[in-house]
Amino acid sequence: MAKFGDVLIMIVAVCLMLWWIWRRFDRWIHEPPGSRLRKLANAGGVEPDAAVDLLRQHGFDVLSGKHRVPLGVKVDDGPVQPTRLYFDYLASKEHKYYLVKLERSRQPTEWTASGLRERLLVYALLFPDCEGIIIADPGDQQVRTVRFKVEDGDG
């Protein structure tokens, strides 16, 4: 009789696990667009500084700051090498989200199409619900918005 009870417990445990996996998958598949950004917006606090003041002067509401996105890189069959992708703030304006990168003197932005693509396209691909990427330069009191658009190619 003990074997029947063990089998019954295993069947119930497997059914519960399958139900839980199905619920997680269903919740993930029906997750509304922009929910990743809303989670990031609620994740971190913002300490007032010159960059935050500059963004607020330009009509942006700074939601959170100093984000680190962990990534793993694997080459061929080698081990996964950890790396990170950083952005400085998440801001919103007129119910649209923007990632904010601060201009740094040691890594100046190359304002050509290829320079912007190499530096910022990864952010647009990771966060497709963002309206754009803001480059803020508190030193020059300048805020610029970069947007990427996929164009039809001729071949």
Please write the tens of the pLDDT for every residue from 127-151: 888 899 999 988 888 899 999 988 7
Query: Is residue 13 located within the same domain as residue 44?
Result: no
| Terminal CA-CA length for the chain | 72
Domain assignment of residue 108, given as a range: 35-146
Query: Is residue 4 located within the same domain as residue 69?
Result: no
| Domain annotation covers residue 115 | yes
The answer to whether 113 and 149 have CB atoms below 8 angstroms apart is no
| Domain annotation covers residue 155 | no
How many domains would you assign to the chain? Answer: 2
Instruction: Tell me the DSSP string of 108-131.
Output: ----SHHHHHHHHHHHHHH-TT-S
pLDDT score of 114: 92
Query: Is residue 54 located within the same domain as residue 97?
Result: yes
Q: If pLDDT is split at 50, 70 and 90, which confidence band does 123 have?
A: confident
pLDDT score of 145: 93
Q: What letter would DSSP give residue 1?
A: -
Around Cβ 62, how many Cβ atoms within 10 Å?
22
Q: How far apart are CA 83 and CA 70, in angstroms?
A: 6
pLDDT at residue 29 tops 80: no
Q: If pLDDT is split at 50, 70 and 90, which confidence band does 82 have?
A: very high
pLDDT score of 43: 63
Query: Is residue 4 located within the same domain as residue 53?
Result: no
Query: Is residue 21 located within the same domain as residue 75?
Result: no
pLDDT score of 130: 85
Tokens matching residue 152: 């039809």
pLDDT at residue 33 tops 60: no
